[in-house]
Amino acid sequence: MALIDGFFARAVKRGQLVVYHADGSSRSFGEPDPDINPVTIRFGPGAAGAIMRDPALGAAEAFMDGRLTIEQGDILDLLVLMTSNNRWEDATAALDPKPLARLANAVAHRIGRYNMARKAKRNVAHHYDLSRRLYDLFLDADRQYSCAYYTDPANPLERAQLDKKAHIVAKLAIQPGMRVLDIGCGWGGMALYIHEKTGAEVVGVTLSEEQLKVARERAAERGVHGKVRFELIDYRAVTGQFDRIVSVGMFEHVGTPQYRTFFRKVRELLTPEGVMLLHTIGRAGAPGVTDAFTLKYIFPGGYIPALSEIVRGYEGLRIFPTDVEVLRLHYAHTLKAWYDRTVAAKDEIVALYDERFFRMWTFYLAGSYVAFVNGGLVNYQLQLSRSRTALPITRDYMIEGEAALREDGPELMREAG
């Protein structure tokens, strides 16, 4: 008890945290802050020790198992309070795991990041082959399971996800008659949007059987199956030539040892005048390791890259980096919308799975949210081309193209709904 109290005394200065220990004693930490909701938690047997051994994983599992309960506020309030006192830009270390836990995390990360083809499908299925109803409950109607684009933080999720598609497609400068490859196509929303807006022929590839099923159903419903095709195939096995390649929210599953393979394959698949748009979560700082909670429960084999690691992946392959954009808070707004929808759908999610799954899912979304608000995560959009002349030499075409795509956004929102 003395150890955990010392930890909280160091870790909590802003905002007020009240802790009830398993023996019935209590203690308050920090000072009230109008920007941080006060939180009261209660520890069951073993919870404090688990948190001291590894704050993130220990807290997650104690919360999931009901050994850490929140009596004032919720898990999002707790994680906001803790990370507001430990912001990435402030470089404090109060929440770092102990040396042994750091070593274990690093070993697990190095093992998991060798995401060979035989493991990739299993890793994807762990997360994306969950019940389609779960995703219906917290995603937008088009099932965009990646960072939205908020031209205004007050925009609803549906508007922001539609604007994300317009933002990306405008960068690709797709012309009639082009062939487009969507690597990691999800439930097909981006591929269907590209065809709808540009008339291009699109091939989407995924390793999720559940996503493939939904994507094909959607293509059939819209009568575009001949023009928008979805396949259950690893990107490494794709053949042919494409004028444009887009990949949104898939690169986090590639694994650093495979980055060279990924970009070499992209270059092989692009025509000589081809262009690619890569949208990925990224680290604002140096390379790191995937936390133990995420590896164990959410994305086995997943890793969020530093920009330097992405660049090393395509260096020397004769690919031009033609545009780089950093989205700092867009995913925070996205995740907050997902979290609020998840909490509102608690009864249905518990009925689909159980209370422990619901707590795990809310911890995942809340933890991801604070990683963008107070941690070191951002989103990168990298545009790459085999040609120095395939695209205009200024960004004006992106702005003009995006404005044109967004003009009929309300109509597409009605169709998606």
Domain holding 288: CATH number? 3.40.50.150
- How much is the pLDDT for 131? 81
Domain membership flag for residue 404: yes
Amino acid residing at 80: V
Which alpha helices (DSSP H) does 143-286 contain, by range?
Answer: 157-172, 189-198, 209-222, 259-269
The rounded distance, in Å, linking the Cα atoms of 316 and 313 is 9
* Residue 163: inside a domain: yes
Name beta bridge partners: 377: 283
Residue 107: pLDDT band (50, 70, 90) is very low
Specify the residue for token string 């004693």: 25
Per-residue pLDDT at 127 exceeds 80: no
**Same domain (yes/no): 208, 323:** yes
189-231 pLDDT, tens per residue? 999 999 999 999 999 999 999 999 999 999 999 999 789 999 9
CA dist 301 → 61, 111, 296 (Å):
20, 8, 9
Burial of 354 (0-12, 13-18, 19+ CB in 10 A): exposed
Looking at the structure, tell me whether residues 51 and 15 fall in a common domain. yes
Q: Is there a single domain that holds both residue 84 and residue 153?
A: no
Residue that is last in its domain, among 97, 126, 153: 97
Same domain for 146 and 79: no
Backbone dihedral region for residue 188 (phi beyond 0: left; psi -120 to 50: alpha; all else: beta): left
Residues 140 and 39 in one domain: no
Per-residue pLDDT at 121: 56
One domain, residues 123 and 66? no
- Compute the average pLDDT of residues 137-150: 97
Integer Cα distance of 163 and 406 in angstroms: 7
Domain annotation covers residue 13: yes
- Between 147 and 53, name the one with better pLDDT: 147
Distances 178 to 62, 117, 194, 274 between C-alpha atoms, Å: 52, 29, 11, 10
Q: Are residues 227 and 286 in the same domain?
A: yes
Which tops the pLDDT comparison, 149 or 96? 149
User: What's the rounded mean pLDDT across residues 245-252?
Assistant: 97
Q: Is residue 202 part of a domain?
A: yes
Mean pLDDT of 296-324: 95
Q: Is the distance from CB of 236 to CB of 206 less than 8 angstroms?
A: no
Is 400 within the bounds of a domain? yes
Domain that holds residue 215: 117-416
> What pLDDT sits at residue 130?
73
Look at residue 103 and tell me if it is in a domain.
no
- Give percent of the chain above pLDDT 90: 83
Q: Are residues 128 and 227 in the same domain?
A: yes
Q: What SS3 class is residue 381?
A: strand
pTM > 0.85: yes or no: yes
**CATH, residue 78:** 3.30.1050
- Of 52, 68, 97, which closes a domain? 97
Instruction: Please report whether residue 332 resides in a domain.
Output: yes
Distance CA 202, CA 225 (A): 10
- CA angle 341/136/154 to nearest 5° reads 40
Question: Is residue 166, in this structure, part of any structural domain at all?
Answer: yes
Query: In the chain, how many domains are there?
Result: 2
Strand order from edge to edge, sheet including 320-327 = 228-232, 201-206, 179-183, 242-248, 270-283, 377-385, 320-327
Residue 103: pLDDT band with limits 50, 70, 90: very low
* pLDDT score of 104: 46
Same-domain pairing of 126 and 90: no
State whether 93 and 158 are in the same domain: no
Instruction: Tokens 């009568």: give the residue.
Output: 223
Sequence-ordered list of residues with C-beta below 8 angstroms from that of 88, at least 6 positions apart, any chain: 284, 285, 374, 375, 376
Q: Is it the case that residue 142 has pLDDT exceeding 60?
A: yes
Task: Assign 56 a pLDDT band (cuts: 50, 70, 90).
Answer: confident
Strand order across the 17-20 sheet: 26-29, 17-20, 39-43, 68-72
Domain boundary among 97, 130, 163: 97
Residues 303, 379, single domain; the answer is: yes
Q: Do residues 139 and 31 share a domain?
A: no
